Amino acid sequence: MPSLDWLRTIEPGLSAFFHQYWMADQVQLWGNRHLERGAAVRALLGICSMARGPVAEEDAAALAPAIFQDRTALKAAVHDLRRFIEGDGSESGFVFSHPRFKEFVRDDLLEEQERADWAALFLDYGSRVVEEFQTGRQPKLPEYILRWYGVHLAESALPLAPLTTFLTARWCAEWERIDGTPAGFIADVDRVWQREQTRSEEHTSELQSLR
C-alpha cells in the first residue's frame, strides 16, 4: 500500500495514477511474465474501451484469438484489471466500472491506430458471425452481436448493404429469444432507415452542388 506522501507526488488525473502507480505495480507483480500479461491486459482494455456494451468471454476470445485462445489468459487479465472491470464474462459481460475510465483508455491510453484496429476487428467479428448465422452454421447469435453490431456498422463508413441483415424474420426471432420482445428489432429497422435517409440526403446535396 503506497504511503500518503508518495501518493502526493503523483500528478493528478487517471493517466498518472494508471501509469505511475497501477501499471508500475503490476509489472513488478508479473515478474518475468510482464510482456505476456501486459499484452493480455492491453488487449482487454482495448476491447472494453471500444465495445458498445458488455463483452462476454466468447466475444473477447473471438476479437483477440491469438491472445485469448487460452481462456486462462483472459481470466488472468480480468483478475489483473479487477479494480477497473466488472462482470464475469458469462452471466454478465465485462464492462468498465466507471465511464470516465473507459474514456481515458479509449482517448488517452490507446494509440489512434489501435482504436482503428479494434474498430475494424469488431466489424470483422460481426460480419463473420452474421454470415455463419445466415448460412445456418451458427444457430444462435451472441448477445453482443445482436445488440451492438448494428451500432458498430452505423458508426462506420461501410456501405448500407450489411445493415439489411437486420430486416429478416430470423433477426427478429433472435431479439425475441434474448429480450422477449421485438423492440430491439424495431430499433435496428429504424437504424437502417435513418442510415438510408442520411445517404439519400447526402446524395441530393451532391446533385444540387453540381447545378
Cα dihedral sign for 11, 14, 15, 17? positive
Q: What is the pLDDT of residue 210?
A: 41
Q: What is the pLDDT of residue 204?
A: 54
Q: What is the pLDDT of residue 37?
A: 73
**Going along 13-108, which residue ranges are E strands?**
85-86, 95-96
Q: What is the pLDDT of residue 101?
A: 84
Tens of pLDDT, residue by residue, the chain (211 residues): 555 554 455 555 566 666 555 666 666 666 666 556 778 989 999 999 999 999 999 999 999 999 998 889 999 999 888 888 999 999 999 999 888 889 888 998 899 999 999 999 999 999 999 999 988 999 999 999 999 998 898 888 776 566 777 788 999 999 999 999 999 999 988 887 887 776 655 555 544 554 4
Q: What is the pLDDT of residue 3?
A: 53
Task: Report the distance separating Cα 203 and Cα 189, nearest Å.
Answer: 21
Q: What is the pLDDT of residue 55?
A: 97
Q: What is the pLDDT of residue 139?
A: 93
Q: What is the pLDDT of residue 56?
A: 97
Residues linked to residue 55 through DSSP beta bridges, in sequence order: 94
Contacts of 143 (CB under 8 A, 6+ apart): 56, 93, 178
Q: What is the pLDDT of residue 6?
A: 46
67: closest CA among 93, 85, 44? 44
Q: What is the pLDDT of residue 200?
A: 56
Instruction: Kindly report whether the global pTM for this prediction surpasses the value 0.85.
Output: no
Q: Which residues of 170-207 are buried (b: 16+ CB within 10 A; e: fewer)?
A: ebbebbeeeeeeeebbeebbebbeebeeeeeeeeeeee
Task: Report the distance separating Cα 118 and Cα 43, nearest Å.
Answer: 9
